[in-house]
Amino acid sequence: MAQQERGGTEGESAAQIIESVRDRVRARREPEVGDVITVLGRKSYAPLLMVPGLALVSPLSGIPGFSSICGITIALVSLQMMAHRRVLWLPKWLRHRHLDKERGPKVIGWFRRPARWLDRVSRNRMALLTRRPLVVLPLSFCLLAGLIIPFLEMLPFTSSILGGVVAIIGAGLFARDGLITLLGMGLVIAAVSAAIYAI
């Protein structure tokens, strides 16, 4: 279900991709995480960093264990993007995790606002940072954040902050905007430093 080849954005904006995800979830009788990944994977792997990152700053972040699932997803996607895998692998227990039929589309609709913001502010700037070989650097930051998030679930706001900055990096990669990507990397350093200080 998640086995999609990496590609470009096919001319679609971030807001249009979110609409595609919501339509897919609405159409399924028992929607699963894999349905979201299938739609996103057709466009680009970058939204697969954006969505779990944004989910961590959404109302879903209060669900026990949800932050850990998002962190694991971010780490797995980052690692496979760094390895330049053409087929994304995620464990079955994650791909087949059910989404609430009523609440799912509403939560996905919440993502439209940040997606529209990205469409407005993103530009083709410092694009070398979003392409190989330099793209490994921001992906390393996402991998680090993803690995740390499960251990910070009990600390208020830390997972949400890290998720937010991962979403910024993913947005920069999706839009080929190296300036946004660089901003996200700086915020990861600040967030990780604050989390270590809090511990």
> For residues 192 and 189, what is the distance between their CA atoms, to the nearest angstrom?
5
Residue 100: what pLDDT?
Answer: 66
Where in the chain are the domains?
A: 42-198
Query: Which range (24-38, 71-85, 113-127) has the least confidence?
Result: 24-38
Q: How many other CB atoms sit within 10 Å of the CB of residue 103?
A: 11
Work out the number of other CB atoms within 10 angstroms of the CB of residue 98.
11
Alpha-carbon distance of 76 to 80, in angstroms, equals: 6
pLDDT band at 198 (very low <50, low <70, confident <90, very high): low
Residues with Cβ within 8 Å of residue 118, at least 6 apart in sequence: 14, 171, 174, 175
119: pLDDT strictly greater than 50: yes
Tell me the pLDDT band of 5, cut-offs 50, 70 and 90. Answer: very low
Q: Nearest-CA neighbor of 155 among 67, 85, 71, 76?
A: 67
pLDDT at 140 over 50: yes
